[in-house]
A and B are shown apart, each in its own frame.
Chain A
Amino acid sequence: NAGVMQNPRHLVRRRGQEARLRCSPMKGHSHVYWYRQLPEEGLKFMVYLQKENIIDESGMPKERFSAEFPKEGPSILRIQQVVRGDSAAYFCASSPPAVLAKNIQYFGAGTRLSVL
């Protein structure tokens, strides 16, 4: 059973470009979460999605950031017009409904975004 798959592992963008980060949850998992980790800090929650629905986006910046989890295909975190402050590690996690009440989330290896 493959784990949570994120790609790309490393992404370099110039200021003003768009960044698209992809996440395929573990098989059987229908809940996806995105977190961001800045250097020397812990992970900060961004958004929680189920198939075709955004459940909680309280951690998403108001502008330039969006997320989706379509019926088919991976979840996408999209950052438009990137700025240097967007440079961070972005982690995706997934969970199956059966353990949802226990809040156990399984993480991917992350995408490290560098904005030049």
Chain B
Amino acid sequence: DQQVKQNSPSLSVQEGRISILNCDYTNSMFDYFLWYKKYPAEGPTFLISISSIKDKNEDGRFTVFLNKSAKHLSLHIVPSQPGDSAVYFCAAGANAGGTSYGKLTFGQGTILTVHP
């Protein structure tokens, strides 16, 4: 049961252009979403997150958009840089009365390649 899906295994963009990574979820209980970046042989690094009470969160070149009615979120990277080339995972979590369940559910990842 894949509750978080990243349907694009890979994405290739030119340096300086926008990268858009997409993620869909099915579980309505998810109320917090995160994006992680992962280089080979390293652990995931936290990038940006968004609560379900918001529809947008921005941090420098990274912006996450959440469409709750469509159960869809996306990560925009502008402008893209070669150093952004990595695997990007979206993840979702559920809170209950302010106490986190702790468990994050991850998508399968999207390999982003930014060409100079």
A56 touches B102 (CB 8 A): yes
- Cβ–Cβ < 8 Å partners of B108 in chain A: 40-42
B32 touches A42 (CB 8 A): no
The interface of chain B, by Cβ under 8 A from chain A, is 4, 6, 32, 34, 36, 41-46, 49, 51, 89, 91, 93, 95, 98-109
Nearest-CB distance from B57 to chain A (Å)? 11
Given A43-B89, A104-B49, A106-B46, check contact A33 B102 (CB 8 Å).
yes
- Cβ–Cβ < 8 Å partners of A55 in chain B: 102
Chain A, residues 8-46, CB within 8 Å of chain B (1/0): the string is 000000000000000000000001010100001111110
Interface segment among A64-72, A79-87, A107-115: the answer is A107-115
Q: A42: which of B45, B46, B89, B102 is its contact (CB, 8 Å)?
A: B89
A4 on the B face (CB < 8 A)? yes
- Cβ–Cβ < 8 Å partners of B89 in chain A: 42-43
Chain A, residues 91-116, CB within 8 Å of chain B (1/0): the string is 10100000011111111111000000
- Cβ–Cβ < 8 Å partners of B49 in chain A: 102-104
B46 touches A100 (CB 8 A): no
The interface of chain A, by Cβ under 8 A from chain B, is 4, 6, 31, 33, 35, 40-45, 48, 55-56, 58-59, 91, 93, 100-110
Q: Report Cα–Cα, A41/B75, bound state, in Å.
A: 20
Q: Report Cα–Cα, A55/B102, bound state, in Å.
A: 9
Q: B44: which of A41, A43, A56 is its contact (CB, 8 Å)?
A: A43
Q: Report Cα–Cα, A86/B79, bound state, in Å.
A: 40
Q: Report Cα–Cα, A40/B108, bound state, in Å.
A: 7
Q: Report Cα–Cα, A107/B46, bound state, in Å.
A: 8
For A43, the closest partner residue in chain B by CB is B106
Nearest-CB distance from B113 to chain A (Å)? 17
Given A48-B103, A100-B99, 6 more contacts at CB 8 Å?
A: A33-B103, A43-B106, A59-B103, A102-B49, A103-B93, A109-B43
B104 touches A45 (CB 8 A): yes
B32 touches A103 (CB 8 A): yes
A101 touches B98 (CB 8 A): yes
Given A102-B32, A103-B93, check contact A56 B46 (CB 8 Å).
no
- Cβ–Cβ < 8 Å partners of B46 in chain A: 104-107
